[in-house]
Structures are given as structure tokens and as C-alpha cells.
Chain A
């Protein structure tokens, strides 16, 4: 009996090769896409899960309040200086480590390597569960000149010879000794950790104020709390303690005036940072992952729908076999088992091919998503049993409908010439849903890319073309010679202009701020950006009133000792509004007072310069001439002979700092990077949309083939009655256009609503127009036409008598 089933099954599959292939590959492609997306989702969910005791590992965060006591924003870090103070005071803090990143050059045998450093505390190893490959964790971060290298960096520097005890020079100024080698930091971490150095390291001296100031923030601080610590109560204790020991201007003075303290510390779970943390170009969100998961199962669903759909059509083709089997005494149960077994076997083959496809595509997909994805997850017992169970379920779903149709169908009806018409409605709704999902996804794709393009083309308030920023200027040994460096660079052919700045578009987002007071008594916290007098004219900042700094007016650049504003300042439009001036003109000539009651005159107002992504609102900012806070040298290079110019710049830098590799970046490249997450999202969507189109088209192709075959008698009659091929083509095209048109009506409102919500996340956003909706709808319709035009023409041209003679 079973042998007979197997034989008919295999012969049937071979007889309808085309449909079998479509079935198997449609499902395999769908499964592969689903697996890839799930691997990605799993990877995102696994962030920091490897931290031991992670339910007790917290990120120390700060809520900021301005002088009026209003909440300003939440910082996901605390002033580094406070971490050891709190740790010493509170036994609840079992372990703690700060993670402060700095980029340096390591020199070895006259060669300089770029190296990311992370200033961390000795607890880091126990806190994060890191086992040193060599070295002693108890002492590895004890001495100021200690450095613990990640394995790959150790290999890069020393090859196969042991790294422990080796001495390298940092930034050409001070030597450090390798006290340990650790495994590379896990990729699935919200922290971006380089080689570890202690807080006592001279690297921290680049920003000496960090050691003392409660106003300086750098990187995050992670702690492990004692079991059973009540988060809220403990945060209260910490804040209570901070009020007693914290600086008076942030605590006591404000409290005396009845104003809230500047800081309020609290905790968030470390494992939540990646998905629930705010901002961050590389972070993800639960919403995003949910969406991806839904899309993954949608794809699989669509593929399964196809198989079920085709299965039904093929079952209809097999009525004869079913009728004969029934006439010979097969009962419904046997037929159901037969058809179900076939479907499950088919699904199993698809599953194997799907897993293989996923393996094949994983490297490309991982690259696209910028994630180090591995397929290990697929082969865990849980996933394997899920796959097998899924195969069974999907197989049964795919096979059940045809099985029931075939089983319910009575052989007498076949013999009297009736054809079963059940399932037409069901099939059509499946096709409609399939296309609705495809169209919805394509619209989303289009809008995401449109928004990304819009964000890139956004008026930045300055000309970013040909601007190159050289970073690392704030290092003491560079800052000392910064002026000479600019001199030398300005003499290079191809370098048109040279300036210096505290702010350039990149991932650092340096933000300084100062409390500013006006004569009218307005007090506001404004962003403080130090620039050289040449910068604003060079960037072609758009002047709204007054004038920009001038190199020829020495008075512009006068800065009192330790002051955080020069004698003159330039404001941006936002700051003018925040300080309460009605028009830019009104602000010009007015005075502002920065900390220490330093008085400055507003000489000009410029349009908001946008150096960050479209997601963040420009901040009220004052620009001052402040060489002490320069972080970038900014060059404007001629568009001609760019490679030579860049080489000359590198050469000039080497002349000054032979042991420091130059770090330079075009402003436009930095902008492009801001939208990496969006681009990744866009790619994921495009990938899913593409897969959906392929699957839907495969289904439509098969369906069209089978359905036109079914309609061949009707077409024959129409032709006999005088229909031309064109009439027939129109008839069939309409038949297959209708589901696509209905799908549009379902997909458009949902996509419109969802995309509206998504766009609200952008400060500057495109407005939704019908255009992408029409484009996706027409695009899919067009693809559908191309898919079926072949069959249609064939049928329309065929000789009608063939269809009419044999019933």
C-alpha cells in the first residue's frame, strides 16, 4: 500500500516538474529568508546576555535638570569621578567598572598602530566574566602603565611571540607594559571595548578634568549589585549621599534656592542597553525586532500559502486518480493520509534546501546587516526540533486543504463531468493577502529609502562638500602644536582653507554646554562649540544677522583665562529663540554671561548648523573662539587632484607626529554613516521585499499556468465565437490583475498608518505622498503581468478545437 502511495507521489511530482520545483524552491527560499531574519533577531536579542549574573548588573545613569529645575535629558552614564566614590560608600555595589574609550597610537619598533583603548577598573574581569588568556586579573590593571590587549590586537602587534611583559609607546609619549591578554570582546555587546588600561593611566590625563569634575561625562559605568538590592531605595540612598558630598553648585546651592539638584542617578539593566537604550547609531529596538520577526513569519507564511495553493490546484488535476482510487474502494482517511504524506515529504525536502540556502547566504546577509552572524543557532536541539515540528505543521497545513478537497469530492461528480469548484474563493483570498503583504513591504522599502535620501540631502546650514576633519587634536601633544600644524597644512597645494573646531560630523557627538545668562535675566543652558575664527566663513555658514568672526579683528578672539567664551560670540538661530530674542537682529550687539560671569558680545547669528543625524534636533548653540577645546582641524580641499592632496596632508601630519597615525574623514562620509541603521533597516526590508516578490511571483506563475489550463475550454469557446488573441490576453490579464488591485486596497491604509508612525521619529522628515504607494502597486502589477504574459499568450494563440474536442 505504502509503496503504491510513494510511487504515485513521486511520479506525480515528476509529471508536474515545473510545479514541484516552484513548490520546493518557493518554500525553501521562504524558509531561508525566515531563518536569516530570525538569526539576526536572535543576535540582537543576545546582546550582553553573556554577562554573568546579568540580572544584577546595572548601568549607572543620570537624569539632568537645568537651572530652573526642569528635566533636560537622561544621560546613560555618570561622571567617571563619582564611580569609585559610590563604590566605596555602598556595600551594595559588589563590583564596578567604568568604560571610557579613547583612540590612541601604539608605537612598536618605529611602526605606529591605531589602537582603541578602554579605560576600565580592575573589577572589569569579574564583572564581565572575562578570563585572561595570560596575566593575572588581580594585578593586570593595578599599575598606571598597564595595558591588557585583546587577543587579535596582541597578534597584530606581536605576531605569535608572547605579548605579556612587552612594552609599547602610546601616542609617542609614554610607555605601557602588557600585563594581560584577553579574548576579543564579544560582538554581541553594547559596549565597544578595546585594549584595557586603568583609570590611573596617563591617557586619562588628556582630559585631566575628568579625574575631578562632576560636570564631565565620558563613558558608561557598569556595576554589579548585591543580591536582593532594591533598585529604587538604593538609588535614593545614592542620591541622598550625592547631595552631601557633591559640589555645592550642583547640589547644595540649588537645594537652598528650592531648585532640584542637577543630577538624579538611577539604574537600568545592562542587558537592556542595546534594545532599550536611547540613540546610538548601532542600537536596535524591540519594535524594530518585532517588525523583523513578523516579516520573517510573513515570508514563511506566504511561501506556505503558495504551496497550499498550488497543492489544491494540483489536487484538482488529480481528480481522476482520486476518483479511480475511490471507485476501487479507497476511503477518505486513506486518501487524506496519502496526500498529507506527500505534502510533508515535500516540505521536508524544502526544509533541507532552505537550511542549505540560509547557510549559503549567511555571510552576505551578515555583511549587509553589519552583524557577525553565525548559523550555530540553527543546529541547537531546540531549533532542530522546531524545524522538524514546523515541517510537520507546514506540511500538514499545505496538504490538509488539498487532501480534504480530494477526500470530500465524490467520484460520481467526476464521472458526470462536473469539476469541483470548491476552494476558488479561498485561493483567491490567499493570493490577495500574499500580494497585500508584498505591496506593503515594498511601499515601506521605498519610503525608508526616500527618507534616508532626504535626510542625506537635508540642508545642513553649511557646505559639507570637500570638508575634511582631522580628529585627535585634543590630545595634549597635538593641541600644543595645533597652530603650527594648521600653518603647515595651509601651505599645501590643494588645501584651500584650514580651520579648527570642537564639532564635526562623526560618531563622537562631543557635547559641551554652559549656563548662559542675558541682561534681561533669561538663564539657559546652551551648547558650547569652540571654533577658530576661520571656520564659520569656510563652512559657508548662513549668516542671518550681524557678522561672523574675523581673523583681522584680534578683539574677536580674546579669551580670559579659564573662560568658556571669547569676547565675542556667534549664536545659532535656535539659541536666539531660547534666549528670548524675537529676531536675529535683536540679538546682535547684546551681551551674554557665561560661567564665571564672563561677558561676551553677540556679533552675529547664523542658521542652525546640522552636524548630527536628522533624528536629533539641533541644539541652541554659541560659537566662541576657544583653542583650548579644539578637537578637529578642518580642511577645505580642492576637488582636483584629491589623492595627491590627501597624501600630502598625511605626509605633513607625519612630519609633526610620526608616532600618531592620522585620523581623517570627509564630512559627507560621516553623514552617510549616521544613516547606517536606517540603511540596514532598508536593506532588511529590501531583502524581505525581494524574497516576497520572488515567492509571490513563483506562486502566481504556477497558479496562472494551472488556472489558464482550467479555463482553456472557455477560451476555446470565446475564440470560436470570434475573440481575437488580444481579447483573450485582456481577459486573462484582468483575471490576474484583480487580486493585485484588491491587495493594494488592503495594503495601502495599513502601510500609510505604519509609515506615518515611523516617520514621526524624525525631526526632519518627508511627508507621505501617494507616489511610493502607486509605484509599489503598479510595480507589483507590472511584475505580475510579466509573469503571466507567457501563459496568456500561449493560451490565447492556441487552436481552440483542442480544448473543445476533448472534455
Chain B
């Protein structure tokens, strides 16, 4: 699916240079479920942003589905991203002014898909995550767990091959967190590649592989025995 080779990211402010990622080499196969762990500031989010093509590396290569996208323009990246990658955030990032179904539909709005088909796909995916009965509600009227389910629905409504989840359970209580993890697992079993940043070892256990980052380096990679 993707391959990072000697990838580095350096942030420059006026006087200080901070290396967020330092010569990272990672390979993720199609259909994998990978968890990324590490303490605050170790570069997890930077890694996820680069993998998600929201940010570009300072040096190194990023090969995504056979294409080296490391030096691609924003417009090109945006195109690849919207076809292939879905996002789930810790703080859900739903638009307050739009209803549940409109929030989900937003992910299809920029794909040139006819309105009727958009409707159908939104309804299908709402059924799948069990939020259909809340279709007309606004995000502020939902619980955190429900909001995250909407976010998951939005991430997959475009049939994205890969989902990037940035601490998807960070704002949820354990019951709701569990729910979301099961949903991700189900998606993975259907073939979606999932890359998840998490602080919770329990939730990392859902992944087949865990990558531990520290100060911008990959320190260990643990493969979980197949169940």
C-alpha cells in the first residue's frame, strides 16, 4: 500500500529547528491494521499527516500505491487523498452547522458524484454505523460516541482504501471507545487498510502491528500473533 523511505520532517521557526521525524522507514501492506504509539511529541501526528498527504516531508520518499508522492503539488495530493484516504480525528471535527447526513455527504461533495447516488451511499453507510435514526440531527445534539460514528461513516462513505485515525477514542469513555474500535476492526476485515494513532495499549491490541515512535525514530515494531 505505502512505503516510507528515509523520511524526515523538520519544522523551522525563527531560530529553532525541530526534527519531528528522523529517517523513518515504514512499509504498510494493503489490508493491514497498524497502530502507532509513543509519548506526546514523538512525531505520531506528523507521521499521520504526511501519510494522509496533509503535510509534505522535508526529505525522503513516500511511495503510495506505487507512486512517489513526496514532491507532489498540493492539488495533486488533494486528488489522491480524496480518492483513497479517509480521516477520523480525536475531536471528531464535524461541522457544527451541518446535520449528520450533510456532514457525511460532504466527503462525496468534492467527488463529482450525482446527488441521487450520494444520498444512497450516505444512507447505506449510516445504516452500517448505526446512526441512521439521527440523520437529521446536528452534531451538538449527539453524544461523543455517536459523533465519532458519524466521523467514521464520513471516512468510509467514499469507499476509501485506507483510513487514518488520530486517537479516535481519545475523547470517548471506554464503552464508546470499544464500540468505535469494533467498528474499525469490522472495516479492516472487509479489506480497508487502517492506520491508527493511539495512547491506549488496549486499543492498540486491535491492530495487527504496532509501531512505537520515540523522538522521531521508529524504536520497535511488534507483530501481534494472528488470532
User: Which A residues form the contact surface with B (CB < 8 A)?
Assistant: 418, 713-714, 716-724, 727, 799-801, 804-805, 807
Contacts and interface: CB of A to CB of B under 8 A. Distances in A.
A714 B78 contact: no
A722 B78 contact: yes
Nearest to A421: B96
Nearest to A720: B87
Given A714-B95, A720-B87, A724-B78, A805 B45 contact: yes
Nearest to A806: B91
Contacts of A804: 89, 91, 93
Given A801-B49, A804-B89, A805-B45, A721 B54 contact: no
Given A722-B110, A724-B110, A717 B95 contact: yes
A801 B54 contact: yes
26 contacts: A714-B95, A714-B96, A717-B93, A717-B95, A717-B106, A718-B95, A718-B110, A719-B78, A720-B54, A720-B81, A721-B82, A721-B87, A721-B106, A721-B107, A721-B110, A722-B82, A722-B107, A723-B110, A724-B75, A727-B110, A799-B55, A801-B49, A804-B91, A804-B93, A805-B45, A807-B91
Nearest to A719: B78
Nearest to A804: B93
A727 B96 CA distance: 19
A418 B54 CA distance: 26
A325 B87 CA distance: 37
A41 B87 CA distance: 64
Nearest to A417: B91
B124 interface: no
B218 to A, nearest CB: 21
Nearest to B106: A721
Contacts of B82: 721-722
Nearest to A805: B45
B9 interface: no
Given A716-B93, A720-B93, A721-B107, 19 more contacts: A418-B140, A714-B95, A717-B106, A719-B78, A720-B52, A721-B82, A721-B106, A721-B109, A722-B78, A722-B110, A727-B110, A799-B54, A800-B54, A801-B49, A801-B55, A804-B91, A804-B93, A805-B45, A807-B91
B110 A714 contact: no
A801 B166 CA distance: 12
A418 B89 CA distance: 18
B97 interface: yes
Nearest to B87: A720
B154 interface: yes
A418 to B, nearest CB: 8
Interface residues of B, number: 25
A571 to B, nearest CB: 74
B111 interface: yes
Contact of A722 (B81, B89, B91, B97): B81
**In the complex, which of the residues A718, A720, A804 has the most CB atoms of chain B within 10 Å of its own CB atom?**
A720
Nearest to B164: A720
A714 B110 CA distance: 15
Contacts of B94: 717
- Chain A facing B: main interface SS: helix
Contacts of A807: 91
Interface of B: 45, 49, 52, 54-55, 75, 78-79, 81-82, 87, 89, 91, 93-97, 106-107, 109-111, 140, 154
A729 to B, nearest CB: 14
Contacts of B97: 714
Contacts of A723: 109-110
**In the complex, which of the residues B75, B78, B81, B140 has the most CB atoms of chain A within 10 Å of its own CB atom?**
B78
Nearest to B79: A722
Contacts of B75: 724
B106 A718 contact: yes
Contacts of B89: 804
Contacts of A727: 110
A418 B107 CA distance: 24
Nearest to A722: B82
A721 B95 contact: no
A724 B112 CA distance: 13
Contacts of B106: 717-718, 721
Report the 6 A-B pairs with minimum CB-CB distance, sorted nearest first: A722-B82, A722-B110, A721-B107, A714-B95, A801-B54, A723-B110
Contacts of B78: 719, 722, 724
Contacts of B107: 721-722
A722 B111 contact: yes
A807 B170 CA distance: 14
A414 to B, nearest CB: 15
Contacts of B93: 713, 716-717, 720, 804
**In the complex, which of the residues A721, A722, A799, A800 has the most CB atoms of chain B within 10 Å of its own CB atom?**
A721
A402 to B, nearest CB: 22
Contacts of A716: 93
Nearest to B93: A717
**In the complex, which of the residues B75, B93, B96, B106 has the most CB atoms of chain A within 10 Å of its own CB atom?**
B93
A719 B45 CA distance: 18
A801 B74 CA distance: 13
A727 B52 CA distance: 20
Nearest to A803: B93
A52 to B, nearest CB: 69
A743 B49 CA distance: 43
Contacts of B96: 714
A714 B93 CA distance: 8
B33 to A, nearest CB: 21
B45 to A, nearest CB: 7
A730 to B, nearest CB: 12
Contact of B154 (A713, A721, A724, A799): A721
A712 to B, nearest CB: 12
Contacts of A717: 93-95, 106
Nearest to A717: B93
A418 B96 CA distance: 10
Contacts of A724: 75, 78, 110
A724 B107 CA distance: 12
A716 B52 CA distance: 14
A799 B46 CA distance: 13
Contacts of A799: 54-55
A719 B81 CA distance: 10
Contacts of A800: 54
Nearest to B140: A418
Contacts of B154: 721
Contacts of A721: 82, 87, 106-107, 109-110, 154
Contacts of A713: 93, 95
A124 to B, nearest CB: 75
A395 B81 CA distance: 50
Contacts of B52: 720
A716 B55 CA distance: 13
Contacts of B79: 722
A413 to B, nearest CB: 11
Nearest to B154: A721
A218 to B, nearest CB: 75
Nearest to A797: B74
B191 to A, nearest CB: 21
B104 to A, nearest CB: 10
Contacts of A805: 45
Contacts of B140: 418
A714 to B, nearest CB: 5
A719 B110 CA distance: 9
**In the complex, which of the residues A722, A723, A799 has the most CB atoms of chain B within 10 Å of its own CB atom?**
A722
A420 to B, nearest CB: 12
Contacts of B81: 720, 722
A448 B223 CA distance: 81
Nearest to A807: B91
A459 B145 CA distance: 79
A798 to B, nearest CB: 11
A800 B95 CA distance: 14
Nearest to B107: A721
Contacts of B45: 805
Contacts of B87: 720-721
